[in-house]
Chain A
Amino acid sequence: ASRDYISIVGSSTVFPFATVVAERFGRTTAFAVPKIESTGSGGGLKLFCAGIGDKTPDITNASRKIKASEVELCAKNGVNDIVEIKIGYDGIVLANSKKAQQFQLSLRDVYNGVAKMVPDANGNLIENPYQTWQQVNPALPNIKIEVLGPPPTSGTRDAFAELALEGGCKTYPEIKALKKTDKQKYKAVCRSVREDGGYIEAGENDNLIVQKLAANPNAVGVFGFSFLEENADKVQPSIIKGIAPTFDSIGSGEYPISRSLFFYVKEDHKDTVPGLQEYVDAFTSKKAIGDEGYLTDRGLIPLAADEWKLVRSAGKSLTPNL
């Protein structure tokens, strides 16, 4: 018996959007409701690229763009025809409990607080010595650095490392210079996260991180903007480079740690898995991800109109675009 429902894996950031679409899709069409597992973007892509056929997922959600290495892996396993659908934007927020003081951070502060290696006063790279936020920046409160964030399977983690950490890292000219000379080392320095307990890998469940923040005023969490929206009563975002993450600041790209959200579809499964085409259609519809779409209620930051048109046509035709 071949599978008669769509199987979706992937990003926990996209999960709350995808579930809403899936549920509506199931209730308003004759198709079954897709099954969605939250595995993180990296984990999802890994499963997605494992091959074609019933046993593998049809769609994976991702909170970052697919990497070249992943495209390669897919190809190696016979997954050649992939459709990329961009659904909107998201900001990565650093947030803490409303009961505590709000943070004002620069990217460099973030880097110094979370990275594994940081330059000391003389510019030599050393193991991160900072134990409290105040040591990082005297303007910050004197509390222990305790950042709850996602593990490497997560796209949020990748985006956080690339945008926030590397962004802060680059502000040191001597490290920036490294990029030209030793790219490998540059990456290792700028994207490695500390492992001495300051950064706690809290699993793929962003809701769980929010719950834990609410209970622990000292902790700072890293997760997608949509979770902030839903939990505005419990947690507050940190202000990064003077800009608070809001609908507009992320949409305009003003907020420094913002990224696009995607999902990837196996074109090969188009004719076999009933409803696949229709699901993509529903997801890319104006009703869902348009300016006033129902996903914006859930905290998705919509695409610009012309960009949406492109996505829409890709979704309609479902032609491989990678």
Chain B
Amino acid sequence: MNSLLLVILVCISVCAYVIASKRAQQLASANGGLRYLHSRPSYYGMLAAIVTALPALLILFVWSISSASIIQSLVMAGVPDSVLSDGTNHSLIYSQIQHVASGIKVTDHAWLINASAHYQHLLALGDNIKFAALIALAVAGLIFGWKLVGPKLRARPHVESVMRGFLLICSILAILTTFGIVLSVLFEAIRFFNIIPLTDFLFGLQWSPQVALRADQQGASGAFGFIPLLTGTLMISFIAMSIAAPIGLMSAIYLAEYASPRVRSICKPLLEVLAGIPTVVYGFFAALVVAPLIRDSATAIGIESVSSESALAAGLIMGVMIIPFVSSLSDDVITAVPQSLRDGALSLGATRSETIKSVVLPAALPGVVGGLLLAVSRAIGETMIVVMAAGLSANLTANPFESVTTITVQIVTLLIGDQEFDSPKTLAAFALGLSLFVVTLALNFVALRIVKKYREQYD
């Protein structure tokens, strides 16, 4: 129905475009050329098409949003008071009516049959009205658009302001959805903090969120201390960074300063392949290859109590994943150091490595640090590697051979099985999401500021 309507609307708009631009053309040639008109004929056409389609589309949009509730109130108005009065839930009754109408349910209550018939009738009526009204509106728009054509009409500026409006709406949409959606996490998180005090969450040392699902069940006590998760996350990120930072940085230096264009053109994309591999693949590799390997070799050199899901395994693999991230950011920053600084050092007789160490790196340092911070935020937010390779036990430990858990892992675990947002358990996922968001946001903010400052230095 809607798609047919859309097709018809498009057709009418195309008509509007064609006849309006034709008319403009005729006007122009009758009056000595296009200079007679304010704008090119196609702009008159576009304006007419906009006038035709835009109001109809807007009304269609409003209708789609509001029709459901209008119909609901109309249908509910027809339901006998006797049914409504005995304290039943209105929306339940309405869904019952809908089920009957769509055939899920069979019933012999007369009022229900009547109501569902009413419902179906309204639905059809609404569709017809919509259809007729929109087409009438479009045709009116077409006529209006055609009438508009004239030498005085500033068609181009009008069309252009519609286009700008469209662009503006898109950017507002992009920004608002992202914002609005962030707010909704905030909202759920606030619900969580209404149950569990913020301080308990932020400073608690114990994490045991699997509370009872039902009244008659014995779950965990519900300790929502965030610290063990934070330390676990930080430990894994730290291990990852201690792999990624030196390797990434040295790779970047080598590629930027030493490698021939040929080597560079081969190695750079190869490194970037590492970043392109889906993290679930790394997780798979970490869990099935690296973790047992670490365990075996640690036992071989006499370290006991090595967990099969050590922080080390997850951290190492995550480090490898982040290498290209560090290297490409550092590479950018290093190549952005002006050649003139290198020339300055070289012309004083510095060797290449001396130039790099004493001039290029210090100059690039803020940018490199910013890049590293971005990489850290990436590590903190990484999910699949840790879900598959790190553990679930919220140990508060500094031993990398033990298993730790991370914020992201807990978010996944908390929401599997139970997705009703009515217990601190499920809401805790949002609190964790929010804290993750805040932490990465803060890191990014700082990192971007540093990088930007650094860029400004040389622009």
Direct A/B contact, Cβ within 8 angstroms: yes
Report A's interface with B, CB cutoff 8 A: 2, 39-40, 42-44, 46-47, 50-53, 67-70, 78, 144, 151-154, 158, 161, 187-188, 191-193, 195, 197, 200-204, 211-212, 215-216, 219, 268-269, 271-272
Q: How far is the CB of A58 from chain B (nearest CB, A)?
A: 11
Q: Judging by beta carbons under 8 Å apart, are A215 and B220 in contact?
A: no
Q: How far is the CB of A234 from chain B (nearest CB, A)?
A: 13
Contacts of B214 in A (CB 8 A): 42, 67, 69-70
The chain A residue sitting closest to B216, CB to CB, is A69
The 3 closest A-B pairs by CB, nearest first: A43-B417, A153-B417, A215-B308
The chain B residue sitting closest to A143, CB to CB, is B305
One of B99-107, B170-178, B354-362, B433-441 at the interface: B99-107
Q: Judging by beta carbons under 8 Å apart, are B217 and A158 in contact?
A: yes
Q: Judging by beta carbons under 8 Å apart, are B417 and A151 in contact?
A: yes
Q: Which of A50, A193, A271 contacts B420 (CB 8 A)?
A: A50
Contacts of A51 in B (CB 8 A): 95
Q: Judging by beta carbons under 8 Å apart, are A42 and B216 in contact?
A: no
Q: Judging by beta carbons under 8 Å apart, are A78 and B92 in contact?
A: yes
The chain B residue sitting closest to A166, CB to CB, is B218
The chain A residue sitting closest to B211, CB to CB, is A152
Q: Judging by beta carbons under 8 Å apart, are B104 and A268 in contact?
A: yes
**Measured between alpha carbons, how far is A69 from B216 in the docked complex, in Å?**
7
**Measured between alpha carbons, how far is A118 from B349 in the docked complex, in Å?**
77
Q: Judging by beta carbons under 8 Å apart, are A40 and B417 in contact?
A: yes
**Measured between alpha carbons, how far is A144 from B208 in the docked complex, in Å?**
20
Q: Judging by beta carbons under 8 Å apart, are A204 and B417 in contact?
A: yes
Q: Judging by beta carbons under 8 Å apart, are A271 and B104 in contact?
A: yes
Could you list some 19 contacts between A and B, CB below 8 A? A40-B418, A43-B213, A50-B420, A152-B211, A153-B417, A158-B217, A161-B218, A193-B218, A200-B391, A200-B393, A201-B220, A203-B392, A215-B291, A216-B308, A219-B308, A268-B104, A271-B103, A272-B103, A272-B104
The chain B residue sitting closest to A272, CB to CB, is B104
Q: How far is the CB of B300 from chain A (nearest CB, A)?
A: 15
Q: Judging by beta carbons under 8 Å apart, are A53 and B392 in contact?
A: no
Contacts of A187 in B (CB 8 A): 218
A43-B417, A154-B417 known; A69 and B215 CB under 8 Å?
Answer: yes
Q: Judging by beta carbons under 8 Å apart, are A215 and B292 in contact?
A: yes
Q: How far is the CB of A229 from chain B (nearest CB, A)?
A: 22
Contacts of B418 in A (CB 8 A): 39-40, 42-43, 46, 153
Give 1 or 0 for each of B367-393: 1 = CB within 8 Å of chain A CB: 000000000000000000000000111
Q: Judging by beta carbons under 8 Å apart, are B218 and A52 in contact?
A: no
Q: Judging by beta carbons under 8 Å apart, are A153 and B218 in contact?
A: no
Q: Which of A70, A152, A197 contacts B220 (CB 8 A)?
A: A152
Q: Judging by beta carbons under 8 Å apart, are A204 and B416 in contact?
A: yes
Q: How far is the CB of B283 from chain A (nearest CB, A)?
A: 12
Q: How far is the CB of B448 from chain A (nearest CB, A)?
A: 36
A52-B104, A200-B392 known; A46 and B213 CB under 8 Å?
Answer: yes
Contacts of A2 in B (CB 8 A): 102, 104
The chain A residue sitting closest to B215, CB to CB, is A69
